[in-house]
Amino acid sequence: MTPNDPTLWLFLVLFAPAAGSVLSLIPHSEVSEWVARAAALLTVVAAVALLVTGASVQWGSYLGIDQFSEVFLVMVAGIYATSTWYSRRYLRSVLHPYLSTSTYYALLSAFALAMLATLVVSDLGLMWIGLEATTIASALLVVLERKSTSVEAAWRYTIIASAGLTIALFALILLYGATGTLNFFRLDASPPSLSLPIEMAVALALVGYGTKAGLFPMHTWLPDAHSEAPSPVSAMFSGVLLPTALYAFVRVYRVLPTPVPVALTDLVLAFGVATALIAAFLLQRQRSFKRMLAYSSMEVMGLAVVGIAVGGIALYGALILLVAHAFAKSAAFYCAGNVLQETGTTRIDDVRDLRIRAPWTGAAWVLAGFGVTGAPPFGTFLGELLIVTGTLATGNILLVTAIVVAILVAFLGLNSQIGRMVFGSRPGGEREVSQRPLSERGVGFAYLNVGIALALGVVSLPYLTGAIKAAAALLGGSVP
Amino acid sequence: MALVGVGILLTALYLQAESFVAPLISTVALQSLLLAVLLGWLAWTEHSVDLAVVAGVVVAIRGIGIPWVLRHQIRAFRWKMREIHAARRVTGHALAAVALAVIAWFVFEETLGPVFPSPSYALPFVLLVQGLLMLATRSNTLVQVIGYLEEENAIVYAAAIFASGFPLLVEVVVFLDVLGVVLVGVILSIQRDVTGTLEEGQEETLSG
C-alpha cells in the first residue's frame, strides 16, 4: 500500500477512530483527550485523502466507496474533529458528569466510527448495522449531564430510532428477496426491474431511515435528544447523524429504475414537505434555543428530502445544503454550548445582551444562524436556491410555495430569536446580572465551521465542490 | 408450521391486552421460543446452519436471557409490576391491536400478496406492526423493551421466510440482541440511578 493507494486511506478512516475509541479508555483524562483529538485529526486527513484521490474504491465484497460516500466522509470526519476539540471546553464546565472523561471520548470516537463505517461499506445490510451502532454508541453520550430529562431523552432516542431501523431492516429483507443482493455496486451494475417488493422496500426504507433522519411524523426523539445531549454531541447529531441516515435511504432509493414511479416520488415529497413545513412552524414556538436548533435541523432534512425526490439540479442542491448545513449547524451548537455552560439555562427568554457579555460568541451565533437558515451567500443559500429552482422546473407551484414558505418561516423564526439573545436587553433591575461577561473559549471552532459553510457558497472549494458535483452526477442529478 | 405462525400472532395480540409486566415477559419469551421452533424446522428442511444458529441465539437471548433480566428489574421495582395507564385502557388496546392486525394483513395482501401468495407470509408484517403499536402506546420502559423484542422477532421471522439466505442474518440477529441487552441493562440502570423511576414522566419538561 502506498499513499496513492485509496485502500490505505479507506482503512485509515476506520482505524483512526477505532484506535481513538479504544485508547481513549486510558483512565487519564488529559491523555485520553489528546488521543481522541489526534485520532479525529487523523480521520480528517484520511477522509480528505480519499476525496483528493476521487476514485471509486472496492475492497472485497463488503467495503467500497464512491464520490457520494467521499463527500459524506469528509463531512463526518470534519464535524467529528471539531466536536472532539471543542469538547475540552464543554466538559470542564459539566459539574457532575455521568461519564468519565475517558469514557466520553471513547464513546464520541465510537459514535464517529459507526457513522464512518456506515459510509464505507458497500453492503446495505452492513450499512444498516453501522447505523444501528450509532444508536448504541451515542445513547450514553446523551446522559452525560446526569439529568432525569437527559435519561428520558436517551431512552426515547434509543427506542424510537431502533424501532425505525427495524422497519428499515424489514425493507432490506424485501429488497434482498427481490434482487438477491444487497451490494449497491452490484445493484448499480445490473439494476433490477421494478416490482412490488422493491417499491414496498423503498417505502419502508423511507419510514425506517426517515425515523433516524428526523422526518415527520417519526421525529419525536429528535428535539429531546438534541436538546439534552451535550453540545458537541448535539453538533454531531444535527450536523452528520441525520444526513448519514439520509445517505442510507438514498442508497435504497437508487435501486428504483428511472423514471421513478410517480407514487413513490410523491410519497417521498410528501414526507419532505411535511417535515420542512411542520418543523419551520414548530421552531417558532420553542422556548429552548437547543430545541429550536433541533427543529431547524429537521426543516433542513425535509428540504434535502425534497431535493432528493425532485432530482436534477435539486439533487445537487440537496447535497450542497447537507454539507453546508453540517458545518453551520455544528457552529451554532458550539455557540449554544458556550452560552448554556456560562448561563446555566437553555431558555431563550433568559439569555440577553450577548453582544456585550460574549461578543465573539454572539457574532458567531448570528453568523451560524444565518448559515443554517440559508442566508446568502452561505452554501445553504445556494443549496436551497437550487432546490427551489429544480422544483420550479417540475411546474408544481404548490410544492414550490410550500418549501419557500418553510424556508422563510424558519429563517425569520430562528434569526429573530438569536437576534433577541444577542442584541436584546433585559429591562430594569435584571440588567446588572445580564452584563456579567461570559467565557468565550472554544468559539474558534464555531468560526472555523461557519467559515467553511460560507466558503461553500462563495468559492469553489478545492476537491470538495468538485466531489459534490461528481456525487450529484453519480446519483442521476444534473450539475450547472 | 402455519400453526406455530398463528401461535406467534396470538401471543402478539395477548401482549397488547395485558397490563401486568410479569405475564408480558413470559409471553414474549414464549413468542421467542415459538419463533425458535419455526426457525429450527426451517433449518432442518433447508439444511441451513445459519438458521440453526439463529434459532439457538433466539432461545438463549430472547427466550431466556433478556426475560431473566426483565424479571430481575421487576423484583427491583415491585411497584412497577403493573402498568397503570395500560390497565385503564386495556379493552381499547386489545381492540386496536385486532383492528391493526386486520389492516396490516390487508395492506400486505394488497401490496405484496401477488408476489407472496401464501397467507402465512403476512404474519411477520403483522407482528412488526404489533410491536410498533406496543412501543407507541405504552409508557413503562420494561413494556417498551418487550415491544422492541417483538419487533426483533418480526424481523427474524421475515428474514427466514421472505429472503432465504439473507446475508449476515446471524450477525444481524446477534447485533439486535446486543442492542436489546444494552437497552435493558445499561439505560434502565442509569434511569434507576438518576431518576428512580421506570415510567416516562418528563414530558412537560421536554415539551420545550
pLDDT tens digit sequence for A431-441: 444 456 667 78
C-alpha count within 13 angstroms, C-beta hemisphere, residue A148: 13
Euclidean distance between CA atoms A304 and A273, whole angstroms: 10
Kindly indicate the confidence band of residue B200, based on its pLDDT and cuts at 50, 70 and 90.
Answer: low
Question: In Å, how far from its chain's centre is CA A471?
Answer: 17
Measured between alpha carbons, how far is A93 from A439 in angstroms, rounded to an integer? Answer: 11
Q: What is the mean pLDDT of chain A?
A: 91
Instruction: Give the gap in angstroms from C-alpha B95 to the nearest C-alpha of chain A.
Output: 22
- Please answer whether residues A424 and A357 qualify as being in contact, where contact means their C-beta atoms are separated by less than 8 angstroms: no
A108 and A59 in contact (C-beta within 8 Å)? no
pLDDT at A8 over 70: yes
pLDDT at A276: 97
Give residue A399's pLDDT band: very low, low, confident or very high (50, 70, 90): very high
Of B112, B128, B171, the CB nearest to A200: B112
Q: State whether residue A350 sits within 8 Å of chain B by CB.
A: no
Q: What's the confidence (pLDDT) of residue A209?
A: 97
- On the question of pLDDT at A36 being above 60, the answer is yes
Q: What residue in B sits closest to A222 (Cα-Cα)?
A: B206
If one counts the domains in chain A, the total is 1
A178-206 pLDDT, tens digit each: 898 999 999 988 888 888 889 999 999 99
Of A160, A195, A223, the CB nearest to B208: A223
Chain A: residue whose CA lies nearest to B146: A159
CB-based contact B168 A126, cutoff 8 Å: yes
pLDDT at B203: 44
Q: What is the mean pLDDT of residues B84-103?
A: 78
pLDDT 10s digits, A17-29: 999 999 999 888 8
Mean predicted confidence (pLDDT) in A410-429: 86
Q: Which set of grid coordinates corresponds to residue A51? A: 476525496
Interface test with B, best of A103, A136, A169, A347 (most B CBs within 10 A): A169
Percent of chain A with pLDDT over 90: 71
With cell 434482498, the residue in question is A176
Q: Is the pLDDT of residue B121 over 90?
A: no
- % of chain B residues with pLDDT over 70: 85
pLDDT one-digit tens code per residue, B58-83: 999 889 988 988 888 777 666 556 66
B103 versus B204: the higher-pLDDT residue is B103
Q: Is the pLDDT of residue B125 over 60?
A: yes
Of the given ranges (A140-144, A435-439, B45-49), which has the lowest mean pLDDT?
A435-439
CB A65 within 8 A of CB A11: no
Question: Does residue B204 carry a pLDDT above 60?
Answer: no
Residue A210's H or E segment, with its range, is helix A196-213
Q: Is residue A385 part of a domain?
A: yes
Q: What is the average per-residue pLDDT within A334-353? A: 89
pLDDT band at A314 (very low <50, low <70, confident <90, very high): very high
pLDDT score, position B88: 64
> What's the rounded Cα separation, in Å, for the pair A278 and A270?
12
The mean predicted confidence, pLDDT, of chain B is 82
Q: What are the chain A neighbours of B151 within 8 Å (beta carbons)?
A: 163, 166
- Cβ B206–A136 below 8 Å, yes or no? no
CB contact (8 A) between residue A155 and residue B187: yes
Q: Give mean pLDDT, residues B24-40.
A: 95
Predicted pLDDT of residue A431: 47
* Cβ–Cβ under 8 Å, residues B104 and B134: no
The helix/strand/coil state of A142 is: helix
Which residues in chain A are closer than 8 Å to B166, comparing Cβ atoms? 125, 173, 176-177
Q: What is the pLDDT of residue A337?
A: 93
Q: How far is A175 from chain B (nearest CA, A)?
A: 9
Q: pLDDT at position B175, please?
A: 80
Q: Is residue A467 part of a domain?
A: yes
For residue A382, tell me if it sits in a domain: yes
Give the residue numbers spanning the domain of A283. Answer: 276-480
Residue A449, pLDDT above cutoff 50: yes
pLDDT the model gives residue A436:
60
Q: Cell 433591575 belongs to which residue? A: A429
The reply to whether A227 falls in a domain is no
What band does A164 get if pLDDT is binned at 50, 70 and 90? very high
The answer to whether position A312 is within a domain reads yes
Domain boundaries, chain B: 2-84+94-195
Among A167-181, A229-243, A302-316, B171-185, the minimum mean pLDDT is found in B171-185
Q: Which residues of B touch A (CB under 8 A)?
A: 111-112, 114-115, 124-125, 128, 131-132, 135, 141, 144, 147-148, 151-152, 154-155, 158-159, 162-163, 166-168, 171-172, 175-176, 178-179, 182-183, 186-187, 190-191, 194-195, 200-202, 205-206, 208
Helix (H, G, I), strand (E, B) or coil at A65: strand
- Mean of the pLDDT values across residues B191-197? 66
Q: Is residue A238 part of a domain?
A: no
